[in-house]
Amino acid sequence: MTLDDLIADGAAPIVAILRGIREDEIEDVAAALVEAGISIIEVPLNSPRPLASIRRLVDRFGESALCGAGTVTSVADVREVASAGGRLIVTPNTDQRVISEALSLGLEVIPGCQTPTEAFTAIAAGARRIKLFPAGTLGPNHLRALRDVLPDGTGIWAVGGTDRNSLRDWLSSGAEGIGVGSALYRKGDGRQDVGPRAADLVAAWKELKAGEGTE
């Protein structure tokens, strides 16, 4: 399953960022996300025993969700995530070695960028999508300006300070999708906390899509 497949099938363009989650929590929280309609799930590597969580995530949801890691900063990290079964690599920075390694292993990679220089560096390394980070600090106008100069077909994902309320602004500014962290999951949250937030976020996206269809 690839990100292209998910988007083509009409999946919500939302990455759930589960920073701080424990391996004994991952399955219940991921079940709530998938049931709500979020099928892209990231476990940041600065979480407790992240590779164990990714293994559980892949074993349970690998056929229905794109699962992987965030805060990936080295080639060794990429290899470990791949060994755990993860298919998604998200980075906080632009590192051509990390991008190249992920692509060589057949993984999806979304490297973090702020500037045109970083974005073009990532694209030169083979990235087809980039992560605008921290998006909340940079703002939608920054995304619009960046999109104007990037090659057609480059997907930009806004991450950092994104939530239900900013979803419209990001998508209307040209984002392919958003990554949502603390507005969706906070350390210690359970299924009962995450499920309603995920459902509300997906409902907001569906409202936007429905509105596009009537314009």
Q: Point out the residues that are catalytic.
A: 42, 131
Count of all residues that appear for the chain in the document: 215
Using the structure block, give the residue that is written with the tokens 């949801």: 61
First to last CA, the chain: 32
Q: Residue 176: enclosing H or E segment and its boundaries? A: none
List the structure tokens of 1. 């399953």
List the structure tokens of 123. 């694209």
Helix axes 26-36, 191-214, angle to 10 degrees: 20
Alpha carbon separation from 184 to 34, 38, 73, 180, 190 (Å, rounded): 13, 11, 24, 6, 11
- Helix-then-strand count for the chain, H and E: 10, 9
- The residues facing 188 across adjacent strands are none
Using the structure block, give the residue that is written with the tokens 């759930």: 16
